Structure 1
Amino acid sequence: MPRRLLLGPLLLLLAATAVAENESRLQQFEFDIPRTTRVMALHELSRQADLLVAYLSSDDAEEVGLVGPVKGLLTVDQVLSVILRSSSLTSRWIEDSMVSVEPRPRSDVSTGLPGDAVARTLPHSTDVDPLRLEPEEVLVLGWPLRDLTLSVPPVVVMERDDLDAIAAPTLADALKYISQSAYSRPEGYRTSGAQYAEMRGLGPDTALVLINGRRALPSANSLSSSAFDLNTIPVTAVERIEFLLDSAAAAYGSDAIGGVINIVLRDKVAEPTLELRYGEAEGGAEQERVTFSAGVNKDRYHGAVVFDYFNIGGLLGDERALWRDQDFRRYGGRDHRSLVSSPGNVSSVTGNLPGLSSNVAGVPLDGSDFTATAGQPNLESLLRFSSIVPEATRRTITAMGTARLADRISATGELLYVNRESTYYFSPPVLAGMPVSASNPYNPFGTTVLVNRLLTEYPSQSQSVDSDLLRWAVALRGDWGRWNWELSALRSDEQATTGLDHAVDLVAAMRALSNPDPAQALNPFSAGPIGNKDLLDSLLLPRDVDEFSSGGQQFAGFVQGPIWFLPAGPLTTVLGAEWRNESMRASNEAAGTFDHDRDVTSGFAQLRVPLISDQLHTAVPGLHELTLTAGSRWDNYSEFGHVLRSQLGLLWKPNRDFSVRVSGGSSFRPPSLYEMYLPKISAVSRVTDPVRHELATVLFTMGGNNELEPATARSLTAGVVFSPDSAYNWNVSADWWRIDMKNRVVSVPPQVMLANEVLFHDRIGRDPVTGVLRTIDSSRINVGGVKAAGVDFAVKADFLTDFGRFTPELQATWFDRFDSTDVPGQAPVARVDLASELGTILDWRAILSLKWKRGPVGGAVFARYTPSYDDAVAGVRTGRTVAAQTLFDLQGSLDLGMVYGRESWLEGLKFWVGAINVLDAKPSFADVGDAAGFDSSQSELKERTYYMRLEKKF
C-alpha cells in the first residue's frame, strides 16, 4: 500500500515534467525561410528562433540539397521535419535552447523501414510535416499572420519561383494560371485598362484582395466595379500570392464571398538587383520594364525597396484581321460594319431618297452623283481604331521593413506608391443619324435627310486615366509568453483623373449641318473634307475631365496563442478587433458629384481545437489527427447595423499521408458607396416597346440606389489531400465546393425589364391614357443570385534526378453547376458551357506545367486548355460551337554567373527568353462577342507575345 501511495505522486511528477517539456517544445515562432539549401535553412532556423543548432554531416550532397520554403507560425520540430525530410539526418534536443542535427544511428537504418518512416520512430522527431505539399498547414494567409494556421479551407500559393516561371508581365496575367479563375478579361476590355480577379466567376467585387494581409480598397479608376485593379501592383515587387478559396476568413472580413487573394510584397532582397524586360506582340503591345531592388539584412532589422518602371505600348484593332474587317459573314456571322464611315452615307427620313430607288446611298468616292451608289452604302469597321491593348505607363515604389525593438517586440512598416497613366483609343468623332435640312448649301436632295459620317478629319478619340496611389501601414508586434499580439494602422489614398479628348460638340455640329452660309456649313455630301479647319476647330469640345478618389484608414489589433493544453496539443485562439473608414468621391460634369464614407467596427474570434493527434501516441486506426476550427466575425456598418457571420472547419487525418477537410461559412457583402450614392442622371433615348410594338422615345434614369440591401452567400468545401513520403514529393488534392449567393446588386438592362414588365412595373412608366412608354428607371437593384458548385483537382511533384530538378503540375477546375438568376421570379439560367456576355463559365479548365532546372540552365512549359462550348446571344444558343483551344507558353533561362564562375564579371547575371502563346493560336469567332467577334472572357486578340529578360545582381 505505501508503494502505491508513493507511485501515484511520482507518476504525477513525471507527467508534469513531460507536459512542461512538451509545452516548451510547442512554442511557436513566425518563420519565413525561403527555398534554399539545407545548411542555409538550418542557419535561418537558428536565427529566426534564437536557437543554437549544432549541425554534423559528412555528406556534402545533403548540405546543398534544396528544402523549403517554410512560412508560418510553427514549432521548431515542425520546421526541422521539413528541413530534414528525405535525408539521413535526425534532430535531438540537447536543452531548451539547443538542438543537434546529426546522422541517424545505424541501428535505426537497419530496421529496413523507409528513411522517413524511420525518422518517425525516433524519440525526438515529429510526426508533423507541414511542407509535404499540404499548404493549408504551412503557408500563412497574410502578413502579418492571423488565422490561417487555424483554418481548414484549401489554399493555393504562387511563390516567387512560380511567378518567374510563368513570366507573366502583370498580376492579372498571373491569375490566368490558376484554374479557379473562371475567366479573365484582356487589357483593352475596359477603357480604363483595369483588370480584376474573377474567382469562381462570381464577379470582381466578390473576391477580397489583401496586400500583406491587409485590405485593399477599390481602385479609384474602378469605383463602378467596386474592385481592386490588379494592374496597380508590379509583379516584380511580389514575393508570393496566396488564394484562400473559401469564405472562411473571419479575421479579414465577412465580405469574401469569392475567397481571399493575398498579395505579399517582397521584404527581403539579398543583393542589389537590376532587372530589364522587353516583349512585344505582332503589330505592337511592346513591354518595357526596368526594376531595381535592394535591401538590408541585419540581425535586428531587415528591409527591401523595389523601384519599378513599366511601359506598355498600344496595339490597335487595325493590326488584327477580326477587327480590321468586321464583316463576319466569312465566319457565318453577321456583318457588323457600320454606316458611320468616311465618306459617309445619306438616308431618307421616310421612303426613298428623292430621285433615287433606295432609302440609302453612299457618298460617291469619285465626286459623281448619288445615282450610282443608291442602295450601296459605304461601310466601316470601327473597331479597327480601338485599342486591343491600351497604352500604359506605371511607376512604382514599394518599401518594406522590420526592426526588432526588443527581444520580444518588433516594428514593421510598408509603403506603396503608384503613379499610372493609361490611354485607350477608339474611333474618331461620329455624326450618327444627324438631320441635314434643305438649307444646307451642299444638300443636293432639296429636303431634310439623315447623314452618318465618321469625322476622320480629327484624330481618334481617346480616354486617358491618370492616377496616384499612396498606401502605408505600420505595425507593432510582439510575444507575451506563448501569445503573439499585433497593433497596426493603415492609410490608403488614391486619386484618379479621366480625360476624354477629341470629342465634338454635337449640338454645334447639328447647327453647322443646317447653316446656309457655305463657310460655316458642314458638307457631308462630298468625299473630301467635311469643313474648313476653322470650322472644324470650333466644333471641338474642351477636354472632358472627371475626378475620382478612393481612400480609407484602418486600425486593428489581435492576440493569438494557446489558451489550454489538451492531450492532443494546444487549444489555440485568435481574438481581434478592427475599425476602418472607407470613402469614395466622384466629380462628373454630367452625373454631378458625390462624396460619401462608411464606418465599420468589427470583432472576430477563431478557435482551433485539436481533438486527436499523434502526440497522444494512440494506436487507434484511422485517427492520426482530428482538428476542429470555428470562427465568428461581428461587423457593425454605419448604414446597415450589425451582422454576425460564422465559419466551421474540420480536419481529419486517417494517417500521416492522407487528409480530409471540410469547411463552411457565410458571407455578407454590403453595397458599395458608389452603388448606393451615385447621383441619378436622366437621358433621352429610343427603345423598342414589346407591348405596343413600336419605337418609343423614353427618359432613362441611371445611377445609385440608397435603398439597396446587402448580398449574402453561404459556402461549403470538402476535400482530400494525399501526400505520401517519397523522393518525388507527390501531392494530390481534390476539393468539392458549393456557393449559394443571393441578393446580388446589378443594373438590369432596359430591354430585359421591358420583357418582364410585370416584375418591374414600379420602374417602368407609361402614359395613363395612351399607354405610351415614357420612363425607365435603370438604377441599381437587388435581384437574383448565383448557385455554383464544382471540384478543384491538383497533382504536383518536385524531385531531383541526374538530369536535373523537375516540377510537374496539373491543375483543373470542373464546374458542376453555375445557375444564375437575373430576373426575380424566373427560373435560373444554367450557364455552364454556355457563352455569356457576363463571362463564360466552362465546364472545366486545365493547366499543365513542367518546370525544369539543371545547374545554370532552366526551362518551363505551360499548356492552358479550354474545352469547346455553345455559342449564345443573350442566353439563347445560336447553334454554333466555339472550338476548344490549347495555349502553350515556353521559357528558357541561363545563369551566366554559374557558367563562368564566381570570379567572372558575369557573376549574378541571368537571362530569360520565352513566348506566351508560342504557337500563335487565334481566338475563335463567337456570336457572343457581338461586334467584337470573339468571346473576350475566354480569348484575347493580343495573340503571341515574345519577351526577354535580363537580371544582374551586384
Structure 2
Amino acid sequence: MIQILKLKRAMVLTLLLCFFASLSFAQRLVKGKVSTAADGTELPGVTVLIKGTTTGVSTDLNGDFQISIEDDAAMLVFRFVGYLTKEVPVSSKSYFNISLEADNRQLEEVVVVGSRFNPRSVISSPVPIDNIAIDELADAGHIEIDQMITYKVPSFNSTQQTVSDATAHMNPADLRGLGPSRTLVLINGKRKNASSLVYINDTPGKGEVGVDLKSIPTSAIERIEVLRDGAAATYGSDAIAGVINIILKRNVNEGSVTMNSGVTTEGDGFQYGVDANYGFGIGERGFMNVSVGYADQRHTNRAGSPGKDELFDVGADNPWIQANPSLGMVVGQPDMIKGDAYFNMMIPFAGGGEVYANGGVTNRRGKSFALYRTPYWIADSPHGPEGFLPTFENDINDNNLTVGVRGKKGDWNIDMSSTFGSNSMDYTIGDTYNTDLGEASPTSFYAGGYDFSQLVNNLDISRDFGMLRLGLGGEFRMENFGVRAGEEASYFGSGAQSFPGLQPSNELNKKRYNVGLYVDGELDLTKAWLLGATARVENYSDFGSNLSWKLNTRYALLDGKLNIRGAISTGFRAPSLHQIYLSNIQTLVSGGTISNQGTFNNQSPAVRAIGVPELKEELSFNYSFGMSSRLTDQLTLTADYYNISVDNRVVFSGEVNGGDDPNSKINQILAAYDITSMKFFTNAVNTQTQGVDIIASYNNLAIGRGNLNLNLAANFNETKIVGELGTPQALKDAGNDDWFNRKEQGRLTSARPQSKIVVGTSYKIGIWGFTLNNTRFGKVSWQHATDPEKDQTFSAKWVTDLNISAQISDNFSMAVGANNLFNVYPDEIDTKGDPVTDLGGRFKYPWEVNQFGFMGTYVYTKLNIRL
C-alpha cells in the first residue's frame, strides 16, 4: 500500500513537472520601457496588460517592465492616468520603447451636468463645475460621500450631528451655506429623492429637507460632478445653490473588493466595512455593473465633564454627580450598521438605441443618545436610583430605481425615463419610560415614523444644427409624504422621556404632483463665443405656477487656454410636503425646566389663527462671472464670483409662547394642546449670499522618479438677512418680536464656515502613493437668542489628513492613514454665565454651529483586491 502511494505521488509530480515545462516552452519574456512622448521622462507605475485578459504588470521606478507572452498575436495595452491608452501588437519583438501622449481630454475632465447637449470640459464650461473621480475622493481617507466632498469642494459642508434625535443619523449638507433644501442631487443625471426627515433640532440646516447622501455607496460611484451655479431653470426645484450629479460605474470584466477598518486615538468610534464591485459584459456594448457593501460604526463620546449641573442648579457636592462628573452624557457619532446594493446597466438594441437602468437599496440601523435623565431630574424610574440614558434608534430604508430608453429618431436625440425613489424612517425610543404610566410603563417604545416617495417621468429631446443646439422636454413628478403614529404608550400623557411618540393626530398621507416644461439652447456665435439660454415653466398642484430662466456665456481667448464666463438666472424652490404638513411634539429643556413643545403644520387652524399664511415657493436671483484657464497641459486655474438672492425663504420658527397674558390668543392655543410653546414653518426671510470660488491645480510634475500633483481650492462667502422679517400679525399684536430670534437668524448666516481652503498634494513613485490634504475651516459664530454679549465666535482651524498607499501587486493594494492627523478640535464653549449655552456643561464643543465636528484623530487601514 505504501509503495502504491509513493507511485501515485511520483506520477503526480511527473505530470506537474511536464505541465510547467510545457508552459516554459510555450511562453517567452517580453521587456520594455515606458516614457512620456513630450520629453522622454520615464513613467513608473504604468499598467501593462495583455489585451482581453487580466494578466498584467506595472512599470518599475525606471519605467521598465517585463511580461510573459504565450501568443505572438497578443496585443499589449499601456494605461496611465493623464495619458492616452496605447495598444501595441507583440508580433515577434522582444523589446519595446513605448511613449505615451498626454490625454488633454482626460486632464480637462469632461462633464455632463449643466448642459443637455454634448459633454464639455470643466475648463470650457460657461459655469463652474467640479469633476472628481472616486479614487481621488477616497485618497482623502473618508468613508461617507458627504465627508469626501466636504474635504474636496470648499463650498460644500456637511458635519456629523449629535444628541439631535433623527438628525444625528443624517448629516445636513449644503452648497455655499444655503441649506440642504437648495442643493439638487442627481444620479446619472436623474433626480434623487429627498429623505423623509425634516431637520427640526438645533443644528445647521434646521427646518430644511435634504437628500440622504449616506444612502449611496461609494463602491458604486465612478465620479461626482458638482455644478456650483443656480440651475433651477435647467433641472427644476431645489437647484438654487447648485447640483451634485453622481455618476455610477460602468466598467466590465473587472471589479474589486475593498475592506476598511479604523478607530479614533481615543479608542472609540471603531469602524469596519467591506464592499465589492464587479462589471459584466452584455453582448458587444452592453454591461451590468453591481456593487454591494456592509459597514459597522461604533459611537464616540466627547461629552463635557463639568462636575456640577448649573442647568438644574445642582452643585459638586451631589453624590451622584461626584460619581458621574460627565452627567452620564454620550456626545458624538451614533452606532450604525449599514447594508447596501446598487446596480447600473445598459443594453443596446437594433437601430443604435439603448435601454438603461440603475438603482439600489440601502438599509441603515443606528442608535444615538439623548440627555441623561439624572436622579434629581427623574426621581423614580424602572431603571433604578442611578437614572437612565434614553436612546434614539432609527431604521432607515432608502430605495431608488431608474429605467429609461434613449436613441435617435432622424436627427433628434430622444431620452425617456421613469425614476422612483423612496425614503422611510422608523423610530424606537429605548432605555426610557413614560412617567405618566408609572410602574406599568414599558422601557422601550415604537414612536412612529415618516415616509417620502417620488415618481419622476422625463422626456428630453435635443438636436444639433451645427452652430445651434436645441433641447426641449418635460417632467411629470408625483410626491407623497406620510406620517405613522407610534404605539399609544409612547405618546400617552407627557409621552416617552426624550421623544414623545407621534400621535394619531399627526398621521397623514399627502400627495402632490407637478408638470414642468423647458426649452434649452446653445449658440456658437463665433468659434470662441458661446451663448446659452434656458426657460422652464412648472405647475404645482398645491401652490400654482412658476417661470424661471437662465442665460450664460463663455468667450475663449488664446486658442481656448483662457475663458471668460458668466451666468444670470432666476430660480425657485417649492416648499417640501414635509414643511407644509409636519406636526409633532418634542421635549424641550430650558433654564432647568422640562416642557413639551409642539410643531404645528402649516395647514392647521392654530397656525392660521395667529396669522401665518400658506407656504409658497421661494424665489431666487443668481448671477456669477469668472474665468477658467489651462495655461499648460499641467496647470489649470478657475476663479468665480457669485451673488444669490433668495426671497421668501421657508424657515422654522423659534419657540413661540403667549407672554404673561393668559387670555392671549397664543396662550389659548397652547392650553388647548397642553403644550408650553409652539413652532411652525413660514415664508419669512430674504437673504443675500455672495462669495468667491478659486481652484488651481498643477498635475504630473516630475519630482525625482515620481510625479507630484498640487491642488489649491478656496471658498469665501457671506450670507446676510435682507429687510425685515415677515412676522405673523398675531405675534406683532402680542409684541412677540423674538419668534425668529438672534440664534435662529445666526443659523442662516454664520453656522457654516465663511471660508474654507483646501491644500492638497499627492505624490506617486513606483508602487507608493502619498496624499496629504490640509483643510482650513474658517470661523463660525453662534448668536445668543437675546444677549449679543454672550455670542461666541469659534476660530478657524487647520485639519490635516494623510494617506499612504502601496500597489503591492497588480491585484492587491493597501493603504494606511489618519484623518485629523494632529488631533485638532474646535474651540470649547464659553457660556459667559448662561448655563443653557452648553446645557449645564453637558456639551464641551459647539453643536449648534459646526466646522468639522469633534471626533479627533481617526486612524485607518484599507485593503483592495482587484478582481
**How does the TM-score come out when normalised to structure 2?**
0.75
Q: Deviations over 1:703-738 (max 9, x none)?
A: 210311111111111011121134xx1011110001
CA-CA distance at 1:455 after TM superposition: 5.5
Q: Is residue 864 from structure 1 mapped to residue 775 from structure 2 by the alignment?
A: yes
* Cα distance in 1 between the residues matched to 2:720 and 2:632: 37
* Cα distance in 2 between the residues matched to 1:943 and 1:398: 32
Aligned with residue 257 of structure 2, among 266, 271, 274: 274
SS of the aligned residue for 2:616 comes to: coil
Q: Which residue of 1 aligns with 2:6?
A: none
Q: Which residue of 2 aligns with 1:778?
A: 679
CA-CA distance at 1:232 after TM superposition: 1.0
Q: Deviations over 1:832-881 (max 9, x none)?
A: 9x975875244421000001112211110000113456664348254765
CA-CA distance at 1:252 after TM superposition: 1.9
Q: Which residue of 1 aligns with 2:241?
A: 258
Q: Is the 8 A contact 1:279 1:945 kept in 2?
A: yes
Q: Is residue 806 from structure 1 mapped to residue 719 from structure 2 by the alignment?
A: no
SS of the aligned residue for 1:205 comes to: helix
Q: Which residue of 1 aligns with 2:562?
A: 658
Q: Which residue of 2 aligns with 1:211?
A: 187
Q: Is the 8 A contact 1:250 1:605 kept in 2?
A: no
Q: Which residue of 1 aligns with 2:545?
A: 642
Q: Is residue 844 from structure 1 mapped to residue 755 from structure 2 by the alignment?
A: yes
Gaps of 5+ in 2: 1-44, 53-75, 87-97, 201-207, 486-501, 604-613, 728-736, 832-836
* Cα distance in 1 between the residues matched to 2:762 and 2:675: 62
* Cα distance in 2 between the residues matched to 1:766 and 1:152: 56
Aligned with residue 893 of structure 1, among 785, 790, 805: 805
SS of the aligned residue for 1:385 comes to: coil
CA-CA distance at 1:765 after TM superposition: 4.9
Q: Which residue of 1 aligns with 2:534?
A: 631
SS of the aligned residue for 1:676 comes to: helix
* Cα distance in 2 between the residues matched to 1:410 and 1:394: 33
Equivalent AA in structure 2 for residue 503 of structure 1: T
CA-CA distance at 1:266 after TM superposition: 1.6
Q: Deviations over 1:528-552 (max 9, x none)?
A: xxxxxxx5xx443451331221112
Q: Is residue 552 from structure 1 mapped to residue 463 from structure 2 by the alignment?
A: no
Q: Which residue of 2 aligns with 1:924?
A: 827
SS of the aligned residue for 1:789 comes to: strand
Aligned with residue 296 of structure 1, among 271, 280, 285: 280
Q: Is residue 710 from structure 1 mapped to residue 693 from structure 2 by the alignment?
A: no
Q: Which residue of 2 aligns with 1:141?
A: 113
Aligned with residue 174 of structure 1, among 145, 148, 151: 148
Aligned residue pairs total: 720
Aligned with residue 393 of structure 1, among 328, 337, 349: 337
* Cα distance in 1 between the residues matched to 2:814 and 2:596: 60
* Cα distance in 1 between the residues matched to 2:802 and 2:447: 43
Q: Is the 8 A contact 1:182 1:200 kept in 2?
A: yes
* Cα distance in 2 between the residues matched to 1:145 and 1:762: 60
Q: Is residue 158 from structure 1 mapped to residue 65 from structure 2 by the alignment?
A: no
CA-CA distance at 1:157 after TM superposition: 1.8
Pairs within 5 Å for 1:532-543: 538-543=440-445
CA-CA distance at 1:643 after TM superposition: 1.2
Aligned with residue 678 of structure 1, among 568, 571, 582: 582
* Cα distance in 1 between the residues matched to 2:367 and 2:826: 24
* Cα distance in 2 between the residues matched to 1:251 and 1:146: 15
CA RMSD of aligned residues (A): 4.2
| CA gap 1:579/1:814 in 2 versus in 1, 3 angstroms | same
Q: Is residue 477 from structure 1 mapped to residue 406 from structure 2 by the alignment?
A: yes
Q: Is the 8 A contact 2:805 2:815 kept in 1?
A: yes
Q: Is residue 309 from structure 1 mapped to residue 309 from structure 2 by the alignment?
A: no
Q: Which residue of 2 aligns with 1:601?
A: 515
Q: Deviations over 1:500-537 (max 9, x none)?
A: 1122221244xxxxxxxxxxxxxxxxxxxxxxxxx5xx
Pairs within 5 Å for 1:343-358: none
Aligned with residue 248 of structure 1, among 231, 245, 250: 231
Q: Deviations over 1:375-404 (max 9, x none)?
A: xx8796566532411111111101111111
* Cα distance in 1 between the residues matched to 2:304 and 2:404: 54
SS of the aligned residue for 2:127 comes to: coil
SS of the aligned residue for 2:548 comes to: strand
SS of the aligned residue for 2:852 comes to: coil
Pairs within 5 Å for 1:164-243: 164-181=138-155, 183-188=157-162, 190-192=164-166, 193-222=169-198, 225-243=208-226
Pairs within 5 Å for 1:3-42: none
* Cα distance in 2 between the residues matched to 1:872 and 1:159: 38
| CA gap 1:858/1:394 in 2 versus in 1, 3 angstroms | same
Equivalent AA in structure 1 for residue 140 of structure 2: I
| CA gap 1:835/1:542 in 2 versus in 1, 3 angstroms | closer
CA-CA distance at 1:634 after TM superposition: 1.2
SS of the aligned residue for 1:484 comes to: strand
* Cα distance in 2 between the residues matched to 1:866 and 1:210: 27
SS of the aligned residue for 1:555 comes to: strand
Q: Bigger relative contact order, structure 1 or 2, given CA contacts below 8 A and separation 6+?
A: 2
Equivalent AA in structure 2 for residue 939 of structure 1: F
* Cα distance in 2 between the residues matched to 1:747 and 1:472: 32
Moved more, 918-927 or 142-151: 142-151
Equivalent AA in structure 1 for residue 469 of structure 2: T
* Cα distance in 2 between the residues matched to 1:687 and 1:164: 42
Q: Which residue of 2 aligns with 1:585?
A: 482
Q: Deviations over 1:398-439 (max 9, x none)?
A: 1111111124111111120111111112345456667x9xxx
CA-CA distance at 1:132 after TM superposition: 5.3
Aligned with residue 942 of structure 1, among 846, 855, 863: 855
CA-CA distance at 1:205 after TM superposition: 1.1
Q: Which residue of 2 aligns with 1:426?
A: 370
**How does the TM-score come out when normalised to structure 1?**
0.68
Q: Is the 8 A contact 2:262 2:271 kept in 1?
A: yes
* Cα distance in 1 between the residues matched to 2:542 and 2:791: 48
| CA gap 1:683/1:923 in 2 versus in 1, 3 angstroms | closer
* Cα distance in 2 between the residues matched to 1:790 and 1:837: 15
Q: Is the 8 A contact 1:142 1:262 kept in 2?
A: no
CA-CA distance at 1:459 after TM superposition: 5.2
| CA gap 1:882/1:103 in 2 versus in 1, 3 angstroms | closer
* Cα distance in 2 between the residues matched to 1:742 and 1:490: 30
* Cα distance in 2 between the residues matched to 1:870 and 1:697: 27
Equivalent AA in structure 2 for residue 573 of structure 1: L
Q: Deviations over 1:120-150 (max 9, x none)?
A: xxxxxxxx965553x5xx3112899788789
Q: Is residue 882 from structure 1 mapped to residue 854 from structure 2 by the alignment?
A: no
Aligned identity (percent) is 21
* Cα distance in 1 between the residues matched to 2:81 and 2:256: 24
Q: Deviations over 1:891-939 (max 9, x none)?
A: 1111111xxxxxxxxx400011100011111221134863423233113
* Cα distance in 2 between the residues matched to 1:143 and 1:714: 20
* Cα distance in 1 between the residues matched to 2:80 and 2:586: 65
SS of the aligned residue for 1:507 comes to: helix
Q: Deviations over 1:588-621 (max 9, x none)?
A: 34352011011011111110010010xxxxxxxx
| CA gap 1:379/1:740 in 2 versus in 1, 3 angstroms | farther
CA-CA distance at 1:638 after TM superposition: 0.6
Q: Deviations over 1:469-504 (max 9, x none)?
A: 332111111123443211111112333211111222
Gaps of 5+ in 1: 1-35, 44-61, 70-81, 85-101, 105-114, 117-127, 328-334, 346-359, 366-376, 437-450, 510-534, 614-624, 689-694, 768-772, 898-906
